[in-house]
Structure 1
Amino acid sequence: MGHYAAVWDHKAAIEISKDWNGIDQVFLRNSRGASAKISLHGGQVVSWRNDQGEELLFTSNKAIFKHPKAMRGGIQICYPQFGDCGLLDQHGFARNKIWVIDENPPPLNSKESLGKSFVDLLLKPSEEDSKQWPHSFELRLRVSLAIDGDLTLTSRVRNINSKPFSFLFAFHTYLSVSDISEVRVEGLETLDYLDNLRKRELLTEQGDSITFESEMDRTYIRSPKVVAVLDHERKRTYVIGKEGLPDTVVWNPWEKKSKTMANFGDDEYKSMLCVDGAAVERPITLKPGEEWTGRLMLTAVKSSFCFDQLELQSKGF
């Protein structure tokens, strides 16, 4: 357990406990009181709280925490597909599997480890997965909580096959908001997007920012490394940074679809918004031995900042 000794040497804190289904979950905290909770069911981040104890991720009140289905909310790992392509479970199988703690994670550099609380998880294909998707891979996930409360997820996919394979990937991120009608997204202006409500029709964003008045399901392609979600009523801004993830998916089911969704309250669309760092417009292809890395960084700040300042101040991007 030398890895955990290293974590404690950095004066970070990590605890492992079991949920009510007997599945391990990892609790990270920093010295200022921020925290994150990660379930080995799906490698899913199920909680992220700031130093005031406020929950920053949305989880449905009707969510079912029971293997093998993913819980509705938090941050889900969508791999090796996104959406429903018919062959695999919707959004792939990674979010439905039991991961393990990675005892031999990639080496850390000082930027990744300094003052951070982190855990490394690993998923390898089962025989069942290989029947549906016959490729050998290692999927690694590092979740780290910084001293300032920033949350970073880093995924690595390695091809240990004897032939190339392709996949899609997304960090399906449910943000908690006060009222979706009072929220706007900045940083995606003038971009092309695929409208998933119109059979992936290619359109161009016309607004100065994205606001919400009806159901939305869009994939913004070749999107910038940093976007912001401004919650006026809560006076909070989420800054979403990404690397290795060329697309941004923006989704809210609105009223009509909410009533048809399992594990989701009829009015809960008002208090959530999904903004996903993703690689879904074009598949990622790995040759034998190759590895891909995708990284998502989440920051929550007071909305007194303007987006230009946030863009300059965003760390590591």
Structure 2
Amino acid sequence: MGHYAAVWDHKAAIKITKDWNGIDQVLLRNPHGASAKISLHGGQVVSWRNAQGEELLFTSNKATFKHPKSMRGGIQICYPQFGDCGLLDQHGFARNKIWVIDENPPPFNSKESLGKSFVDLLLKPSEEDLKQWPYSFELRLRVSLALDGDLTLISRVRNINGKPFRFLFAYHTYLAVSDISEVRVEGLETLDYLDNLSKRKLLTEQGDALTFESEMDRTYLRSPKVVAVLDHERKRTYVIRKEGLPDTVVWNPWEKKSKTMADFGDDEYKSMICVDGAAIERPITLKPGKEWTGKLVLTAGKSSFCFDQLEALNYRAKDSDSYLF
């Protein structure tokens, strides 16, 4: 089962439980009280709490918790497509499938597990999947919780098919915020983006930071490796670091669309924002036997963050990928 560094009681670091549908969930803990819960339904992170026990991910009070439908919230694995752009389920089938714990994961860089509790999950296509999308693959996911409470997701897609295939990928990340009207997203200034509310029209971001006063659904292209979400009312900043994921999706349904979603409360748009590390604009092409890796690191801290810090993080990230992970 998952592995973790010998820096605290092993038995306390990881625990397997079952949800109300009898599906396994993996609970990761660190010695300071932070935790993360990962469901084998979709490989979905359904909870991430800081050392004070505060929930950092949003989950709708109207979410459907029944397989095969994915749960509205947490962090969803979107593969092999994002959006509703083909014959597959919206955002692909990975988030709707039952994953297994990977007993024999491929070797990882030792830094990626040092001082962390973590679990490795695995998804392979079923016969039904191959009828819809006829490509054999292995999708591995490592979710880890660090001593400082940072949450890391590392996904690996390997082509075990006899021919190349193309896919899209995203970590569909629902962050909990106090009031969307008081939230700013920094790090996406001056970037080109596809406005998904206007038939994917290509526009350029004009603001110093993103603020919210209506529905937003944008794909920022070739975005920096570090983006920050500032929640002024809660005095909290989320820092989102990514690798292998050139795009960033920002989504909030606002009032009108919220009322059309059966698994989303009418006013819940006020307390969430999705900021996704993604590979959407240019599909990833994977040759037989080759592997792709995408990484996401989430940090939640007090709002002492500023634009200059973000610039410094991105400057350092350009010079050293290992700095992020």
Q: Same fold by TM (over 0.5)?
A: yes
- For the residues of structure 2 that align with 1:24 and 1:79, how far apart are their CA atoms? 21
Q: Secondary structure at the match of 1:87?
A: coil
CA distance in 2, matches of 1:90, 1:215: 20
Cα pair 1:81 1:92 within 8 Å, conserved: yes
Change (3 A) 1:176 1:195: same
Separation of aligned partners in 1, 2:304 and 2:119? 32
Structure 1, residues 68-110: CA drift from partner, whole Å, max 9, x if none? 0000000000000000024000000000000000011121332
Structure 2 runs not aligned, ≥5 long:
312-324
SS at match of 1:3: coil
Deviation at 1:229, TM superposition (A): 0.2
Shift in alpha-carbon separation, 1:132–1:54, aligned structure 2, 3 A: same
Q: Distance in 2 between matches of 1:194 and 1:151?
A: 28
After TM superposition, the structure 1 stretch with the greater mean CA deviation from structure 2, 100-109 or 66-75, is: 100-109
Report the counterpart of residue 129 of structure 1 in structure 2: 129
Match of 2:138 in 1: 138
Which whole-Å CA distance do the structure 2 matches of 1:5 and 1:110 have between them? 10
What's the secondary structure of 2:128's corresponding residue? Answer: helix
Aligned to 1:3: 3
State the shift of 1:304 in Å: 1.7
Asked if 2 retains the 8 angstrom alpha-carbon contact of 1:7 and 1:118, the reply is no
**TM-aligned CA deviation for residue 310 of structure 1:** 5.0
Q: Which moved more, 1:180-189 or 1:109-118?
A: 109-118
Compare 213-222 and 298-307 and name the one that shifted more. 298-307
1:281 matched to 2:277: no
Contact 2:5/2:114, CA 8 A, preserved across alignment: no
Distance 2:235 2:288 in 1: 48
8 A contact 2:187–2:310 mirrored in 1: no
CA deviation vs aligned residue, 1:138-165 (integer Å, no higher than 9, x gap): 0000000000000000000000000000
What is the aligned partner in structure 1 of residue 295 from structure 2? 295
CA shift for structure 1 position 114? 1.1
Secondary structure (helix, strand or coil) at the match of 1:211 reads coil
* Aligned CA distance change for structure 1 residues 141 and 12 (closer, same or farther; 3 Å): farther
Q: C-alpha displacement at 1:6, in angstroms?
A: 7.5
**Equivalents in 1 of 2:49, 2:4: separation in Å?**
22
| Alpha carbons 2:3, 2:117 under 8 Å: kept | no
Give deviations 1:229-273, integer Å, cap 9, x for gaps: 000000000000000000000000000000001200000000000
1:298/1:55 CA distance change after superposition, 3 Å: same
CA distance in 2, matches of 1:147, 1:40: 24
Is contact 1:178–1:231 with CA below 8 Å preserved after alignment? Answer: yes
- 5+ residue gaps, structure 1, are 312-316
* Cα distance change, pair 195–146 in 1 and its aligned pair in 2 (3 A): same
Given the superposition, is the C-alpha separation of residues 4 and 35 from structure 1 closer, same or farther in structure 2, using an over 3 Å criterion?
Answer: closer
> 1:3 Cα deviation (Å)?
4.8
Task: Give deviations 1:189-211, integer Å, cap 9, x for gaps.
Answer: 00000000000000000000000
Checking the alignment, whether the CA contact within 8 Å between 1:79 and 1:168 is kept in structure 2 is: yes
Q: Give the CA deviation at 1:309.
A: 2.5
* Maintained 8 Å contact 1:11/1:115: no
Instruction: Compute the displacement of 1:7 (Å).
Output: 9.4
Contact 1:10 1:113 in 2 (8 A): no
1:12 and 1:116 in contact (8 A); partners too: no
Following the alignment from structure 1 to structure 2, what is the Cα–Cα distance between the partners of residues 142 and 13? Answer: 15
In the TM superposition, residue 11 of structure 1 has moved relative to its aligned partner by 8.4
Percentage of identical aligned residues: 90
Check the 8 A contact 1:220/1:247 in 2, yes or no. yes
CA 1:29–1:310 in 2, change beyond 3 Å: closer, same or farther?
A: farther
1:113 Cα offset (Å): 1.2
Residues 165, 287 of structure 1: 8 Å contact kept: yes
Instruction: State the 4+ residue runs in structure 1 displaced beyond 6 angstroms.
Output: 4-12
Secondary structure of the 2:71 match is coil
Identify the residue that residue 190 of structure 1 maps to in structure 2.
Answer: 190
Deviations 1:100-133 (A, max 9, x none): 0001112133211111000000000000000000
Aligned pair in 2 of structure 1 residues 137, 8: CA closer, same or farther (>3 Å)?
farther
Alpha-carbon distance in structure 2 between the residues aligned to 1:151 and 1:5: 15
Query: How far apart, in 1, do the equivalents of 2:170 and 2:50 lie?
Result: 24
Q: Distance in 1 between the 2:258 and 2:89 partners?
A: 20
Distance 1:108 1:283 in 2: 25
Relative to the length of structure 1, the TM-score reads 0.95
- Please state how far the C-alpha of 1:64 moved relative to its aligned partner: 1.1
Aligned length: 312
Comparing 234-243 with 302-311, greater Cα deviation is found at 302-311
SS of the aligned residue for 1:171 comes to strand
